[in-house]
Structure 1
């Protein structure tokens, strides 16, 4: 048989599952193919095990959903590309690529955090395919119009909620996932750029408008995802939504509290939550006393307005600490100095809290040459099981801030877990990729619970 040359990505069809087109990542390094599936439920048919599941075949499009059933040929432990081991159902189903159709085995798993809804492994290609990794779609590509023609039915519920995502960049992974999750649960969810929203303050008819004059007063809920530079305007806008009795997943007051680094630390201490010893000053004259206050070098020096690891310096000696503090003095900046937890080994924990419950946790390790465990700087995230005390601290900290959703950063020390920060707009990419959990869906479900929403077909 002459082998077909395929690229690193191709379109395929799964006819027995009624999936007309799904983009696959061709991966000869993976043994078994994998299909994105949710709501996976085994059942018995004629004394055989079958499985029902839902497939959202188009990445970042929650409006298209296919409900499927398939015979289970096996159940086995599969190791993912992130190193996680998962016990998955294995099905056998025909696949169509180009003009050829044959049966392949596939595992079912949640691939929400992956770039492709299906992985095409080497077992499916044996004896049939040769991969040219420099090319894509060698057997044909589809335009958006082609895909729209193949998938014509959207998921809708008569009583689906109207949800606004209030943010700055629609291309961010987190924002795409939240929109996809809202659509997949039958809601109408729209992205609204904070800068393009404006308010009418009026005793009789207060309003919020979007570019072109669209009035947003009929929204059921808003998800504020406010970047630090837009905190003042974004929180003012969120507060106006609240005044219109529109539910906000994180209130303006809670966001402002979490954004104020000093006030948030003071709130944590007031609620009996341990933090690394911290000093705060505005261009201090007593540099030596400030250094001694936190136990001396090595120590961390932070600009109060810094974000995502910017404006953070590790001073390994007293002389280096004095130099950094004096440099920040020249900027007339507010600075934090904080004890350096050496035993943490450049690692911290990110616990994701929704409605008073830790729903996911990862450990972040600093890249070589760095002391900060920050994924924005190339840090590595791995799944970890937090202790009961760490989960308790994360929940208490989120409650102290008044947040519905938060990313809580904890560091392990010889004194026990210490809380570093509470983030009111935590990113989803690192934690969804590492844990393979649908955090965005859980955020939407938190809104549904708050509004007592139940679907009506």
Structure 2
């Protein structure tokens, strides 16, 4: 075909799939990908006569899980596809007619979890061949929809809000975890409001206690609060939670539970009291017994961590006794509280994060430290993958969350020659790493847990 006969397509285009019942989905035009790909979840194979079909759900609009479309299409293939992260996986391939502007034609689509991607669809070169030439500097040359048009197209799919009123108490509305929780609540028909911890204030009064928000708005109509309080505002955030509790609002994690989990010394004492095994840990104030403190935790290499450390920050590996003495004494000289903990060498830089919701481990992932690091941390380049935990590890995670009275918890476990050991418990665990690694919709399970607690049907 002569190049003059080809239509010019932009780097982004709106696609319509009438056969699938998708009135509009924004696609990234990607000539580097052979086959087109579309976001899909809850994928199931069914048989119609002699033909295999696939049932799946599509959330066609980015950052909006309140709209979920039930789709069916014939299965045409199973293919190994390498993702952008370099991991190969088998994907199901279906065929459907796509409409771009005034043209309609059949294309093949691989079904993939694209929840974390900017686009819910990729338009590959098989769909472009002999039809389009790409102008990567322009967008929507074939077909464009305004926000109003998209809202109108999806109007029949919006759910009426008849649910709970939920407040998300946090600091950054744009964090993945916070966005996912708000999406999940809206998808289940609830009215959820983001509340910045530092913009709320309270009135302490026996007759009419209140919580107010920027501009004087009174926050007195919430059924539940989901706390996602960053460590730097723990004191004030917990004060707000106590006030909400006094007003009869259910808080998914209580102020007391969060404070206990943030105090690494106190939580370690609670774990020891309840026969939960942790790496041997030492704590002292005077530098006079530093040598014995090091000896008490089986000597170097050992871990030195600040009591208020978070996400791997404030954690140091001392590889020799002399180095350990220097670091410990340096911290003590500036009146900084630290814990000294034995180093579990056989773990090989791996640990396990169990995500607990209302007394159940809903997901688990293994984290591997990047080369040269001793601690697994996906915030600092570590890798995460799904893992099947043992019954002993599951029991340990549930018991740790229960001891701290946390309804939602990220429980970190390390495997040792002595069996699984508890590292720490996070009262505001992130969702991004574990949702991506496991494919589980944890935000939805958090909302379901609130519904169950409040007996909402």
> What is the TM-score of this pair, normalised by structure 1?
0.90
CA apart distance, 1:363 = 1.2
Q: Find the aligned partners of 1:161 and 1:230 in 2 and give their Cα distance.
A: 27
Aligned-pair CA distance for 1:194: 0.6
Residue-by-residue CA offset, 1:18-61 (whole Å, 9 max, x unaligned):
43332224445555433223455666667766555443221112
* Correspondence list, 1:17-32, <5 A: 17-28=20-31, 30-32=33-35
Q: Which of residues 321, 334, 337 is equivalent to 2:337?
A: 334
The aligned counterpart of 1:236 is: 239
- Contact residue 91 and residue 112 of structure 2 kept, 8 A: no
Aligned to 2:392: 389
Which residue pairs with 1:171 in the alignment? 174
Stretch deviating more after TM superposition (310-319 or 123-132): 123-132
**Quick one: structure 1 residues 78 and 245, their matched pair in 2 at CA, closer, same or farther if it must change by over 3 Å?**
farther
| Residue in structure 1 matched with residue 268 of structure 2 by the alignment | 265
1:379 aligned residue (379, 382, 387): 382
Which residue does 1:352 correspond to in 2?
Answer: 355
User: Once the 2 structures are TM-superposed, how far is the Cα of residue 92 of structure 1 from its aligned partner?
Assistant: 2.0
Matched residue of 2:371: which SS?
Answer: coil
Task: Report the secondary structure of 1:421's partner residue.
Answer: strand
Q: Shift of residue 426 of structure 1?
A: 0.5
Structure 2 residue matching 1:407: 3-state secondary structure = strand
> CA, structure 1 residues 369+451, in 2 after alignment: closer, same or farther (shift >3 Å)?
same
- CA distance in structure 2 between the aligned counterparts of 1:86 and 1:182, rounded to whole angstroms: 31
The CA deviation at 1:80 is: 6.2
1:436 aligns with 2:439: yes
Asked whether 1:155 is paired with 2:151, we answer no
Residue equivalent to 2:310:
307
Q: Displacement, 1:138? A: 5.8
- Check conservation: 2:76, 2:95, Cα contact below 8 A: no
- Write the distance in 2 (CA, Å) between the matches of 1:78 and 1:180: 31
TM-score (norm 2): 0.90
Q: For 1:116, which of 105, 116, 119 is the aligned residue? A: 119
- Once the 2 structures are TM-superposed, how far is the Cα of residue 170 of structure 1 from its aligned partner? 0.4
Per the TM alignment, residue 279 of structure 1 is displaced from its structure 2 partner at its CA by: 0.8
Cα shift at 1:248 = 1.5
After the TM superposition, which of the residue ranges 439-448 and 73-82 deviates more from structure 2? 73-82
Alignment pair present for 1:199 and 2:206:
no
- In the TM superposition, residue 393 of structure 1 has moved relative to its aligned partner by 0.9
What is the rounded CA distance, in whole Å, between the counterparts of 2:137 and 2:384 in structure 1? Answer: 29
Aligned: 1:186 with 2:165: no
- Which residue does the alignment assign to 2:17? 14
SS at match of 1:217: coil
SS at match of 1:282: coil
In structure 1, C-alpha distance between the alignment counterparts of 2:161 and 2:146, rounded to whole Å: 30
Partner of 2:284, secondary structure, is strand
Task: Kindly state the Cα deviation for residue 352 of structure 1 after the two structures are TM-superposed.
Answer: 0.9
Structure-to-structure mapping, 1:1-80, within 5 angstroms: 1=1, 2=3, 3=6, 6=9, 9-28=12-31, 30-40=33-43, 52-63=55-66, 65-74=67-76, 76=78, 79=81
Select 1:414's aligned residue among 413, 417, 421: 417
With 128-137 and 226-235 compared, the bigger mean Cα shift is at 128-137
CA shift, 1:285, in A, is 2.3
Correspondence 1:288-299 to 2 at 5 A: 288-299=291-302
Aligned to 1:251: 254
Q: Go from structure 1 to structure 2 and tell me whether the alpha carbon gap of 1:374 and 1:69 turns closer, same or farther (over 3 Å shift).
A: closer
Which is further off, 176-185 or 157-166? 157-166
Q: Secondary structure at the match of 1:17?
A: coil
Structure 2 residue corresponding to 1:284, chosen from 283, 287, 291: 287
Q: 2:217 aligns with which of 214, 231, 251?
A: 214
Superposition CA RMSD, Å? 2.7
SS at match of 2:266: helix
Q: Secondary structure at the match of 1:417?
A: strand
Residues in 2 aligned to 1:403 and 1:435: alpha-carbon distance in whole angstroms: 22
State the shift of 1:261 in Å: 0.6
User: CA 1:424 to 1:45, structure 2 compared with 1: closer, same or farther past 3 Å?
Assistant: same
Q: In the alignment, is the contact (CA less than 8 A) between 1:62 and 1:182 conserved in 2?
A: no
Number of corresponding residues? 452
For 2:250 and 2:445, locate their aligned partners in 1 and report how far apart those are by CA, in whole Å: 16
Residue 283 of structure 2 aligns to a residue in which SS?
strand
Larger relative contact order (C-alpha < 8 A, sep ≥ 6)?
1
